[in-house]
């Protein structure tokens, strides 16, 4: 993104409806005069090209099991007409060592086009159990499925982020999230507190995945009363993007509020018992983040003195460092299992091309570039959401350049990523 495009984008952020129309007109014009490509890079499609839509979901979890042989995926008939369809989606298991053959593990009634149903392998083994969200008997829930015995355990609360050891998870209000951030919540139920801008009600819960005990951690008013700002008065509030630290001691969460058509965001970290809240980044914009380790967080954010970019922040301190000035557009970053490499992506550029990048000690390499069809745009867009396998030797992503959403792997078996 050029400097001019970045400034225009920041200006239009104050008027989201106008931004959407202006963005579409600009992209159609630029696409018409730009070279056309379908994809670039050494990539392989894992999912079949059978007219169905396949995708995994978000960038903060891996579809691979501990052996890097099996991959989880969602399958749906239509993942471009609605942000949170009422139709069921299939939960698929691919065997990458057997010609990508697959079997059906189950179905889910609660999913969206950005994060799926929070489908993932359950730690610490990442081998025989998976967890995902569903809607059963009139309420949201999460399901722990043993894929060998097919035994289910149903927990009467959906999960948002799961600890690496598989002991607990954190959750939020998916109905409110659906109303205020299309494509991230679920549409099965109407939000209970729709008429309240800042409910004095729980917004984050702790779930013991062994005992099934659910504990209320924080309320919307807890966030508003913590280091309040004038723009919070009379604003509508929500929380999103919970991520638990590697050790399970703390979590990060984005506190967002809407005031006079403007959106404000701050990045807050908290102990997983709901205590010791810290305001880590409060310069109006924080987007996608990831934990580097238990004390550092990488985020695409704004800083008043240095603008938008990727920042490495030290938790519970004012210390931060701006990285990779050439990467000035938002993406979905994550560290490789050994913490040495970073993979991230971009949204479609003026020619509707999205890119996957890998960073190795400051050296930035392009791993893949793919076309984003216009029907996959705005709330139903197909973000790439690149993710590592367990060994840190492969990256997969979702894309729609062949006309439907599909699951793709970047082939790097013969050479190390980023070289």
- At 381 the pLDDT is 96
Q: Give, for all 419 residues of the chain, the pLDDT tens digit.
A: 555 555 555 565 566 667 677 777 877 787 777 777 899 999 999 999 999 999 999 999 999 999 999 999 999 999 999 999 999 999 999 999 999 999 999 999 999 999 999 999 999 999 999 999 999 999 999 999 999 999 999 999 999 999 999 999 999 999 999 999 999 999 999 999 999 999 999 999 999 999 999 999 999 999 999 999 999 999 999 999 999 999 999 999 999 999 988 999 999 999 999 999 999 999 999 999 999 999 999 999 999 999 999 999 999 999 999 999 999 999 999 999 999 999 999 999 988 999 999 999 999 999 999 999 999 999 999 999 999 999 999 999 999 999 999 999 998 653 456 65
Q: In what side-by-side order are the strands of the sheet with 307-314?
A: 286-291, 296-303, 307-314, 320-323
- At 32 the pLDDT is 73
Cβ pair 174, 186 in contact under 8 A: yes
SS (H, E, C) the chain: CCHHHHHHHHHHCCCHHHHHHHHHHHHHHHHHHCCCCCEECCEEECCCCCCCEEECCCCCCCCECCCCCEEEEEEECCCCCCCCCCCCEEEEEEECCCCCEEEEEEEECCCECCCECCCEECCCCCCCEEEEEEEECCEEEEEEEECCCCCEEEECCCCCEECCCCCEEEEECHHHHHHHCCCCCCCCCCCCCCCCCCCCCEEEEEEECCCCCEEEEEEHHHHHHCCCCHHHCCCEEEEEEEEECCCCCEEEEEEEEEECCEEEEEEEEEECCCCCCEEEECCCCEEEEEECCCCEEEEEEEECCCEEEEEEEECCCCCEEEECCCCCCCCCCEECCCCCEEEEECCCCCCCEEEEEEEECCEEEEEEEEECCCCCCHHHCCCCCCEECCCCCCEEEEECCCCCCEEEEECCCCCCCCC
The two three-digit tokens of residue 378, written as one number: 């705005």
Distance from C-alpha of 31 to C-alpha of 104, rounded to nearest angstrom? 39
Beta bridge partners of 146: 129
- At 415 the pLDDT is 45
Q: Enumerate the CATH 2.130.10.10 domain ranges in the chain, comma separated.
A: 157-319
Instruction: Tell which CATH classification among 3.30.420.40, 2.130.10.10, 3.40.50.300, 3.40.190.10 matches the domain 157-319.
Output: 2.130.10.10
- At 24 the pLDDT is 73
Distance from C-alpha of 374 to C-alpha of 24, rounded to nearest angstrom? 9
pTM of the entire structure?
0.93
């Amino acid at each position: 993104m050029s400097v001019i495009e970045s400034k225009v984008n920041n200006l239009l952020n104050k008027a989201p409806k106008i931004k959407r129309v202006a963005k579409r007109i600009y992209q159609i014009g630029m696409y018409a005069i730009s070279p056309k490509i379908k994809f670039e890079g050494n990539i392989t499609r894992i999912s079949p090209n059978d007219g169905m839509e396949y995708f995994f979901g978000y960038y903060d979890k891996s579809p691979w099991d501990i052996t890097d042989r099996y991959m989880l995926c969602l399958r749906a008939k239509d993942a471009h007409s609605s942000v949170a369809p009422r139709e069921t989606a299939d939960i698929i298991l691919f065997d990458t060592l057997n010609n990508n053959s697959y079997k059906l593990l189950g179905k889910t009634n609660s999913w969206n086009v950005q994060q799926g149903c929070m489908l993932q392998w359950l730690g610490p083994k990442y081998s025989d159990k998976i967890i995902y969200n569903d809607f059963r008997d009139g309420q949201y829930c999460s399901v722990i499925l043993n894929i060998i015995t097919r035994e289910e355990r149903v927990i009467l609360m959906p999960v948002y982020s799961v600890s690496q050891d598989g002991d607990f998870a954190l959750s939020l209000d998916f109905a409110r999230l659906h109303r205020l951030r299309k494509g991230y919540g679920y549409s099965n139920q109407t939000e209970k507190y729709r008429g309240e801008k800042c409910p004095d009600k729980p917004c984050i819960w702790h779930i013991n995945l062994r005992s099934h005990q659910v504990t209320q951690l924080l309320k919307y008013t807890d966030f508003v009363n913590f280091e309040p700002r004038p723009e919070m008065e009379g604003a509508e509030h929500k929380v999103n993007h919970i991520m638990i630290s590697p050790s399970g001691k703390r979590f990060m969460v984005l506190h967002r509020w809407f005031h006079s058509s403007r959106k404000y965001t701050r990045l807050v970290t908290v102990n997983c018992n709901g205590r010791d809240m810290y305001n880590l980044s409060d310069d109006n914009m924080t987007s996608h983040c990831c934990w580097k380790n238990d004390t550092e967080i990488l985020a695409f954010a704004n800083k008043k003195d240095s603008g938008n970019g990727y920042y490495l922040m030290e938790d519970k301190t004012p210390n931060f460092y701006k990285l990779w000035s050439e990467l000035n557009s938002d993406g979905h970053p994550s560290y490789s299992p050994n913490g040495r490499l970073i993979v991230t992506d971009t949204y479609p550029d003026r020619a509707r091309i999205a890119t996957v990048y890998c960073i190795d000690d400051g050296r930035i390499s392009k791993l893949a570039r793919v076309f984003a069809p216009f029907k996959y745009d705005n709330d139903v867009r197909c973000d790439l959401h690149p993710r590592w396998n367990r060994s840190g030797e492969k990256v997969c992503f979702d894309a729609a350049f062949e006309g439907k959403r599909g699951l793709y792997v970047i082939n790097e078996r013969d050479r190390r990523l980023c070289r």
